[in-house]
Amino acid sequence: NAGVTQTPEFQVLKTGQSMTLQCAQDMNHEYMSWYRQDPGMGLRLIHYSVGAGITDQGEVPNGYNVSRSTTEDFPLRLLSAAPSQTSVYFCASSYSTSSSSYEQYFGPGTRLTVT
Amino acid sequence: DAKTTQPNSMESNEEEPVHLPCNHSTISGTDYIHWYRQLPSQGPEYVIHGLTSNVNNRMASLAIAEDRKSSTLILHRATLRDAAVYYCILDDQGAQKLVFGQGTRLTINP
């Protein structure tokens, strides 16, 4: 298994540009999520999905859109990039039930700089 | 969200045991205790999790206090590769919406 893959690894955007960060997993996980990590800080949840067609907001959703059309893919779209969105973005996936808790698998991250 | 408190940093020596503490005094009965670690320039890596009983796996042990208000991650024999930021996180009812704090930066001396 490739696990959780993210593309691109690095990206530089100008203010106002839009782009999509890609995330895919091949473990048939129902749950997927996006986090951002600013320098010296812990991760903060942006959006998450408990299955295809179902998404919800996390702690810091403003400026980002997500969709989940397949189990495997969970892209994150930046609508109009701002310098405050300069960060490292991590995608994660896991099994999901209402009766237990599971380990999350994280991707290698996308390092985004907005100038 | 229930919060956790960890020391900002700890230091230990190679091949010695390491005990990383975590306080979670407002934990609820449905919160699972998770530990993740993050090596430099990498994504977080799952270490271990538990609900009420102590847990062991190939990476570490998790000791949970009887009142569940604190827990300790135990690395039995630290290696240089264990140098990382360790996060103690509560997962409410398995909702998977992890809330990462600042974590503990663990330094391992050769």
Of B10, B32, B28, B8, nearest to B19 (Cα)? B10
Which of B32, B36, B98 has the highest number of chain A CBs within 10 A, making it the mutation to test binding with A? B98
Mapped onto helix, strand or coil, the DSSP state of residue B81 is helix
> Residues B66-107: pLDDT tens digits?
999 999 999 999 999 999 999 999 987 667 788 888 899 999
What pLDDT, on the 0 to 100 scale, is given for residue B1?
A: 55
> Residues A70-110: pLDDT tens digits?
999 999 999 999 999 999 999 999 987 666 778 999 999 99
A16-20, A24-28, B98-102, B106-110: which has the minimum mean pLDDT? B98-102
Task: Compute the average pLDDT of residues B38-51.
Answer: 94
Q: Does A87 touch chain B (CB under 8 A)?
A: no
Neighbouring-strand partners of residue B18? B75
Task: Compute the average pLDDT of residues B47-65.
Answer: 95
φ/ψ of A97, rounded to 5, equals -140, 170
**DSSP for B36-97?**
EEE-TTS--EEEEEESSS-EE-SS-EEEE-TTSSEEEEEESS--GGG-EEEEEEEEETT---
Contact A101 B34 (CB under 8 A): yes
Q: Give the dihedral sign, CA B4/B7/B8/B9.
A: negative
Amino acid letter, B33: I
Of B108, B109, B92, B96, nearest to B39 (Cα)? B108
pLDDT over 90, % of chain B: 81
Mapped onto helix, strand or coil, the DSSP state of residue A88 is strand
- Locate the chain A residue with the closest alpha carbon to B46: A103
